[in-house]
Each structure stands twice: as structure tokens, then as C-alpha cells.
Amino acid sequence: MAPAVAPVPCAVKPRLLRAYLRAVQDHHRMQSAQMCSLVRGDGFRFEKEIQEAEQAREDAKYAILVHEQEHGCHLWFDPNAPADLQDGQEWPSGLA
Ligand SMILES: [Zn+2]
């Protein structure tokens, strides 16, 4: 049986999650741009941008993991939280 863990409000994690989601979107956008380039016959453009976006995604992921390790807020992550929060939106009550 898992230990009972009281939810700990975290003001940082929602920001880190939004940054990660933006980084994933940017990475996908650059991959799509490359696919369009290939379809148009322009070759493998955007390699540098894809690599940079991939690095940004990894950096954002590890920022979350490091924060969770240091703050201990990984145990109460709600998998039902909306994944498409935009900048300026508030995290649903009870999650942050
Ligand atoms: Zn935290």
C-alpha cells in the first residue's frame, strides 16, 4: 500500500510543466516544417532548429525532474490535469 501523501501546493511546477509543453510543441513544429520542406523538394532544412528545440525540450524535462527531486512535489501530480494550458492560464485549483 502506498504511503498517504498530503498534497503539497507547488507554485513552480505548473510553470515548469508549461515550459515543457511549449518546448514539445516547438520541437514538433520544427519537425513538421522539415517534413513540409521535404515534400516541397527543398531537402532536409531546419536540422539546426530541430536540434535546438530537442535540446530545449530535454532541458525543460530535466528542470521538472530536478525540481521534483528537490521539492518532493512529484508524488501528487494529477494525470487528469489539462495538458494544454496556455501562458497566463491558472493551474486548476487544487493542483498548484
Ligand atoms: Zn514543487
Q: Are 25 and 17 in contact (CB under 8 A)?
A: no
Tell me the CA–centroid distance for residue 52 and ligand 1, in Å. Answer: 26
* CA of 6 relative to ligand 1 center, distance in Å: 13
Cα(62) to ligand 1 centroid in Å equals: 13
Q: Residue 72 carries which side chain, given as an amino acid letter?
A: G
Torsion of CA 85, 90, 92, 96, to 10 degrees: 110
Dist. CA 19 → ligand 1 center (Å)? 14
Question: What are the C-alpha distances in Å from 75 to residues 2, 44, 91, 95?
Answer: 11, 42, 17, 12
Q: In order along the chain (96 residues), what is the average pLDDT of each group of 10 residues?
A: 58 93 98 97 97 98 94 68 50 46
| Distance in Å, CA 76 to ligand 1 centroid | 10
